[in-house]
Structure 1
């Protein structure tokens, strides 16, 4: 019988991923209650430290997505308060949220990632930073927030027009990367073990924020139908990245795979240290494929935090 704990579930906050976090948090809280724990749900605001001190939980389940819950800020606060919490710590979180910094850590370790560099958004209106097609994305956002694919046929203009809607209107700097044709893949890692490889097949456009969180816009093929060596390589890369960044609990690594290049066409894009736990999320889906239901997954993540 699992000892009854008081678990605070941190959710919401003020990032661009607030609604996803609220959905993740609600599911987690319900699972924790089914398991038999006492649960306090906290929609994070600027007084969150006072609230946590007041309730003094045994452990905090961090269900926040984006900043400041995924970038080390909340982790540092919880460290100072002496509270145990789920998922990765301050250093791993601060590195993984920064896509360029993640490359600086992982690429020298032999983990294949796309090239590219950070550009000032204003410079995009003078000319392209890379040959088209290329991808522009915020350096430190998740859930494909603010991603744009710039092609010869795009309606952004050439060069990108000031009036064209895109992430250059929201962010001062963007990461420019070569576009990798082919398949969108993802691998969940739980306590240092890769669970599966899922192929994500949007019914229209690409795998953006809406495709991730709107039912019916993306087909999930789990396990992905891939050559065995590609499946094994993706799972190994995800575990290697999880370990190299010093991650804990659950992470999810996202990939692009170009079958025309064979194994050399597999590229790690990023590591998510606070993966979603919504009904459409990929970590619960892969855990289920491995025989771990949602409640057991939540229990595993809590146990990892306590360890």
Structure 2
């Protein structure tokens, strides 16, 4: 089987690292993927765009790329465009799907147009004057508790939870360190869920619980107290609903191959609301997509090969 894989896929560049705020997580994902591919007999090697020139991909005569680049540059369509220009097949979504999924505000616009539920929100740009009147308008529309996040970042980078006009100003300034466009949303009290997608099929949902104020970067990657449940605790009807919503949301952005869609369930209404879609989710042994795949009977090694097949 290993020799069959080697012949099927040829020389594979595992893209990892990069220049985004999620570089360290990408290195961890890419190293786990590389180890799995090598153990399956696939001719794979690590390629870090921060350390290597794009021309190296041509010189190496790469047959395809396994993209484990998280965040800007690797998950927003930029590197996908480079690979298409070089005529190198790659895993996951195309330029359009990646660009839309990475843009939280524009993806929500599409979901709203399709009648899919999202939290109330506004987009704050560099054209908006950060005066008291503007901040009071935003707070009055979305309060009493708000989430502030860069519109083009993942892994909860630059995200804040605020409950006052004063803290709203600070949170917007913090998010602007990462992005000129800032998304401000109404805070929804409820449990978070995620649905992984592999080759047009939704995998079992996962629910998350954290002792922190919300499911932030620390809770995702560093806290030992964060709990994950798969099965998530939903009944059969709810599971069908959330999986169907995930596939609809994913496909509506032009995403394909594999990815993840995140939700929050409103305690007040019990309605699932879409948070965001991820076209290059984490791929460490403890990441969410591998957890869902394991529940489906797919090992980590099998998962990396199945994702590699999306490049064929």
- How high is the TM-score relative to the length of structure 2? 0.90
Instruction: Confirm or deny: 8 A CA contact 2:5 2:40 kept in the other structure.
Output: no
Task: Write the deviation string for residues 254-286 of structure 1: whole angstroms up to 9, x where unpaired.
Answer: 101023313xx2101110000110122100010
Aligned counterparts of 2:180 and 2:172: Cα–Cα separation in 1: 15
- Per the alignment, do residues 24 and 159 of structure 1 end up closer, same or farther by CA in structure 2, a change over 3 Å counting? closer
SS at match of 1:102: helix
Residue equivalent to 2:124: 119
The residue that corresponds to 1:34 in the other structure is 39
Separation (CA, whole Å) in 2 of partners of 1:179 and 1:256: 10
Question: Which one of the candidate residues 10, 16, 24 is aligned to 1:19?
Answer: 24
1:69-122 CA distance string (max 9 Å, x none): 011100000001000000101111111110111122222222211221111477
Corresponding position of 2:144: 132
Find out whether 1:303 has 2:305 as its counterpart: no
Query: Kindly tell me: are residues 289 and 163 of structure 1, through their superposed partners in 2, closer, same or farther at Cα, counting changes over 3 Å?
Result: closer
What is the Cα deviation at residue 205 of structure 1?
Answer: 2.0
SS in 1 for 2:204: strand
Picking from 227, 235, 246, the partner of 1:238 is 246
Q: Is the 8 A contact 2:150 2:159 kept in 1?
A: yes
Q: State the Cα RMSD in Å.
A: 2.0
Shift of 1:227: 3.8
* Cα distance, 1:124 vs structure 2: 5.0
Matched residue SS, 1:305: coil
- Which one is further off, 108-117 or 56-65? 108-117
| Equivalent position of 1:251 in the other structure | 259
State how many pairs are aligned. Answer: 300
> What is the CA-CA distance between 1:242 and the residue it aligns to?
1.8
Report the Cα distance in structure 2 between the residues aligned to 1:291 and 1:20, rounded to whole angstroms: 25
CA shift at 1:195, angstroms? 0.3
Question: Which residue number corresponds to residue 292 of structure 1?
Answer: 298
State the TM-score, normalized to the length of structure 1: 0.92
CA contact (8 A) 2:143 2:163 kept: no
Question: Contact (CA 8 Å) 1:125, 1:160: kept in 2 or not?
Answer: no
1:188 is the counterpart of 2:200? no
Q: Does 1:280 align with 2:292?
A: no
Give the direction of change, closer, same or farther, for the CA distance of 1:235–1:164 in structure 2 (3 Å limit). Answer: closer
| Structure-2 change in CA distance of 1:119 and 1:51 (3 Å) | same
Deviation of the 1:169 alpha carbon? 4.8
CA 215–181 in structure 1, closer or farther in 2 if over 3 Å, else same? closer
Report the Cα distance in structure 1 between the residues aligned to 2:143 and 2:215, rounded to whole angstroms: 22
After superposition, give the CA deviation of every residue in 1:152-184 in whole Å (9 maximum; x if it has no partner): 5xxxx6364559984245443310111111101
CA distance in 1: counterparts of 2:201 and 2:272, whole angstroms: 19
CA–CA separation in structure 2 for the residues paired with 1:163 and 1:49: 36
In the alignment, what sits opposite 2:75? 70
- 1:3 and 2:5 equivalent? yes
Shift of 1:45: 2.4
Counting only pairs closer than 5 Å after superposition, residues 139-178 of structure 1 correspond to structure 2 as 139-152=151-164, 158=166, 160=168, 166-178=174-186
Q: Per the alignment, do residues 145 and 287 of structure 1 end up closer, same or farther by CA in structure 2, a change over 3 Å counting? A: same
Give the distance between the partners of 2:217 and 2:19, measured in 1 at CA. 17
Equivalent-residue separation in structure 2 for 1:75 and 1:243 (angstroms): 18
Distance 1:187 1:124, change over 3 A: farther
